[in-house]
Amino acid sequence: MRLPTFRIRTLVVVVAISGVLCLMAVATLRWVRERELAQRRATSPLFTIPLSGGRQRVYAGTDFSLTVPIDMACAEYQGIDSYVGGCTSDLIQLKFDYGPFGDSFQSLESEPGFHEEKLTIDGRPARLMIVRRSPDSEDENYLVALHVPKGYLSLSAQCKGLREVQIVREIASSITFP
Protein backbone atom coordinates (compact mmCIF):
# COMPACT_ATOMS: atom_id res chain seq x y z
CA MET A 1 0.00 0.00 0.00
CA ARG A 2 1.45 3.33 -1.07
CA LEU A 3 0.89 6.62 0.66
CA PRO A 4 -0.50 9.36 -1.51
CA THR A 5 2.12 11.85 -2.71
CA PHE A 6 0.32 14.62 -0.80
CA ARG A 7 0.83 12.84 2.55
CA ILE A 8 4.53 12.19 1.83
CA ARG A 9 5.11 15.84 0.95
CA THR A 10 3.24 16.96 4.08
CA LEU A 11 5.34 14.62 6.22
CA VAL A 12 8.58 15.94 4.67
CA VAL A 13 7.50 19.55 5.31
CA VAL A 14 6.56 18.78 8.94
CA VAL A 15 9.93 17.09 9.56
CA ALA A 16 11.79 20.01 7.93
CA ILE A 17 9.90 22.59 9.99
CA SER A 18 10.59 20.60 13.18
CA GLY A 19 14.31 20.55 12.37
CA VAL A 20 14.37 24.29 11.74
CA LEU A 21 12.54 24.97 15.02
CA CYS A 22 15.06 22.83 16.94
CA LEU A 23 17.96 24.69 15.34
CA MET A 24 16.34 28.02 16.21
CA ALA A 25 15.88 26.94 19.85
CA VAL A 26 19.54 25.92 20.13
CA ALA A 27 20.67 29.20 18.53
CA THR A 28 18.47 31.19 20.93
CA LEU A 29 19.92 29.38 23.96
CA ARG A 30 23.46 30.07 22.72
CA TRP A 31 22.59 33.72 22.12
CA VAL A 32 21.14 34.08 25.64
CA ARG A 33 24.27 32.48 27.17
CA GLU A 34 26.63 34.65 25.11
CA ARG A 35 24.63 37.75 26.04
CA GLU A 36 24.85 36.86 29.74
CA LEU A 37 28.60 36.30 29.44
CA ALA A 38 29.03 39.59 27.56
CA GLN A 39 27.18 41.47 30.31
CA ARG A 40 29.43 39.91 32.96
CA ARG A 41 32.56 40.73 30.94
CA ALA A 42 31.44 44.33 30.64
CA THR A 43 31.35 44.72 34.42
CA SER A 44 34.46 42.65 35.19
CA PRO A 45 36.94 41.16 32.71
CA LEU A 46 37.70 38.34 35.19
CA PHE A 47 34.71 36.54 36.67
CA THR A 48 33.74 33.09 37.84
CA ILE A 49 30.66 30.92 37.56
CA PRO A 50 30.16 28.11 40.13
CA LEU A 51 29.88 24.61 38.68
CA SER A 52 28.89 21.29 40.21
CA GLY A 53 31.50 19.07 41.81
CA GLY A 54 33.27 21.78 43.81
CA ARG A 55 34.55 23.64 40.75
CA GLN A 56 34.18 27.09 39.23
CA ARG A 57 34.66 28.29 35.65
CA VAL A 58 36.99 31.30 35.44
CA TYR A 59 36.53 33.60 32.45
CA ALA A 60 39.64 35.67 31.79
CA GLY A 61 38.03 38.43 29.78
CA THR A 62 37.32 37.28 26.25
CA ASP A 63 40.71 35.60 25.94
CA PHE A 64 40.27 32.17 27.54
CA SER A 65 38.57 30.30 30.35
CA LEU A 66 39.54 27.52 32.72
CA THR A 67 38.04 25.46 35.54
CA VAL A 68 39.54 25.61 39.05
CA PRO A 69 38.51 24.28 42.47
CA ILE A 70 35.84 26.40 44.18
CA ASP A 71 38.20 27.23 47.08
CA MET A 72 40.57 29.16 44.81
CA ALA A 73 40.24 32.95 44.92
CA CYS A 74 40.86 34.58 41.53
CA ALA A 75 42.03 38.10 40.70
CA GLU A 76 43.56 40.23 37.97
CA TYR A 77 47.03 41.74 38.30
CA GLN A 78 48.61 44.72 36.59
CA GLY A 79 50.25 43.62 33.36
CA ILE A 80 52.42 45.69 31.03
CA ASP A 81 51.74 44.19 27.62
CA SER A 82 49.39 41.34 28.45
CA TYR A 83 46.42 40.21 30.51
CA VAL A 84 47.68 38.88 33.86
CA GLY A 85 45.83 37.21 36.70
CA GLY A 86 45.76 34.23 38.96
CA CYS A 87 43.93 31.95 41.35
CA THR A 88 45.21 30.95 44.77
CA SER A 89 44.38 28.56 47.57
CA ASP A 90 46.32 27.33 50.59
CA LEU A 91 48.03 24.65 48.48
CA ILE A 92 48.26 26.15 44.96
CA GLN A 93 49.35 29.57 43.73
CA LEU A 94 48.48 29.76 40.03
CA LYS A 95 49.32 32.74 37.78
CA PHE A 96 48.59 33.28 34.12
CA ASP A 97 49.89 35.67 31.49
CA TYR A 98 47.95 36.01 28.24
CA GLY A 99 49.84 37.92 25.58
CA PRO A 100 52.35 37.51 22.76
CA PHE A 101 55.37 37.96 25.05
CA GLY A 102 54.51 35.37 27.72
CA ASP A 103 57.17 33.19 29.31
CA SER A 104 58.04 29.98 27.45
CA PHE A 105 59.77 28.66 30.61
CA GLN A 106 62.88 27.52 28.70
CA SER A 107 65.01 28.37 31.74
CA LEU A 108 63.37 25.47 33.60
CA GLU A 109 64.91 22.91 31.24
CA SER A 110 68.30 23.16 32.98
CA GLU A 111 66.90 22.64 36.49
CA PRO A 112 67.37 19.28 38.22
CA GLY A 113 64.18 17.24 38.34
CA PHE A 114 62.82 18.83 35.14
CA HIS A 115 60.03 16.85 33.46
CA GLU A 116 58.19 17.86 30.28
CA GLU A 117 54.99 16.62 28.65
CA LYS A 118 53.63 17.55 25.23
CA LEU A 119 49.90 18.26 25.39
CA THR A 120 47.10 19.56 23.24
CA ILE A 121 45.04 22.30 24.90
CA ASP A 122 41.80 23.10 23.09
CA GLY A 123 43.32 21.84 19.84
CA ARG A 124 46.59 23.76 20.25
CA PRO A 125 50.03 22.28 20.97
CA ALA A 126 51.34 22.98 24.47
CA ARG A 127 54.19 22.13 26.84
CA LEU A 128 53.56 21.18 30.47
CA MET A 129 56.72 21.35 32.58
CA ILE A 130 57.17 20.15 36.14
CA VAL A 131 60.14 20.85 38.38
CA ARG A 132 60.54 19.25 41.78
CA ARG A 133 61.85 21.82 44.25
CA SER A 134 63.92 20.75 47.22
CA PRO A 135 61.77 20.16 50.33
CA ASP A 136 63.93 22.46 52.47
CA SER A 137 63.36 25.38 50.09
CA GLU A 138 61.11 28.30 51.07
CA ASP A 139 59.24 27.76 47.81
CA GLU A 140 56.55 25.13 47.32
CA ASN A 141 57.65 21.58 46.54
CA TYR A 142 56.70 21.66 42.83
CA LEU A 143 56.60 24.24 40.08
CA VAL A 144 54.23 23.44 37.22
CA ALA A 145 54.42 25.57 34.08
CA LEU A 146 52.27 25.51 30.95
CA HIS A 147 53.06 27.27 27.68
CA VAL A 148 50.56 27.39 24.81
CA PRO A 149 52.41 29.34 22.09
CA LYS A 150 49.52 29.49 19.59
CA GLY A 151 47.18 30.56 22.39
CA TYR A 152 49.55 33.24 23.77
CA LEU A 153 49.09 31.70 27.21
CA SER A 154 51.70 31.10 29.91
CA LEU A 155 50.59 29.64 33.22
CA SER A 156 52.65 28.74 36.28
CA ALA A 157 51.68 27.17 39.58
CA GLN A 158 53.48 26.62 42.86
CA CYS A 159 52.17 23.37 44.37
CA LYS A 160 52.60 21.80 47.82
CA GLY A 161 52.57 18.20 46.59
CA LEU A 162 51.81 15.69 43.84
CA ARG A 163 48.07 15.86 44.51
CA GLU A 164 48.14 19.58 43.72
CA VAL A 165 50.26 18.91 40.60
CA GLN A 166 47.45 16.64 39.39
CA ILE A 167 44.90 19.40 40.09
CA VAL A 168 46.96 21.82 37.97
CA ARG A 169 47.05 19.22 35.18
CA GLU A 170 43.24 19.08 35.33
CA ILE A 171 43.07 22.88 35.27
CA ALA A 172 45.33 22.91 32.20
CA SER A 173 43.15 20.36 30.39
CA SER A 174 40.07 22.51 31.07
CA ILE A 175 41.42 25.60 29.25
CA THR A 176 39.39 26.77 26.28
CA PHE A 177 39.94 29.63 23.87
CA PRO A 178 37.10 31.46 22.10
CA geometry: angle at 150 spanning 44 and 106, to 5°?
A: 100
Q: Do 82 and 2 fall into the same domain?
A: no
pLDDT in tens, 154-177: 999 999 889 999 999 999 999 999
The domain of 111 spans 45-173
Residue with the bigger pLDDT between 112 and 134: it is 112
Percent of the chain surpassing pLDDT 90: 50
My answer on whether 72 and 135 are in the same domain is yes
Asked whether residue 71 falls in the same domain as residue 39, the answer is no
Is there a domain that residue 38 lies in? yes
Q: Both 49 and 38 in a single domain?
A: no
Per-residue model confidence (pLDDT) at position 127: 96
pLDDT at 41: 46
> How many whole angstroms separate alpha carbon 176 and alpha carbon 67?
9
pLDDT value of position 45: 75
Q: How many domains does the chain have?
A: 2
Cβ-based neighbours of 135, under 8 Å, separated by 6 or more:
141
pLDDT, tens digit (0-9, with 9 covering 90-100), for 89-121 = 999 999 999 988 888 999 999 988 899 999 999
Same domain, 68 and 21: no
Please give the Cα distance from 70 to 13 (Å, whole number). Answer: 49
d(CA 56, CA 62): 17
pLDDT reported for residue 24? 76
Q: What percent of the chain has pLDDT over 70?
A: 80
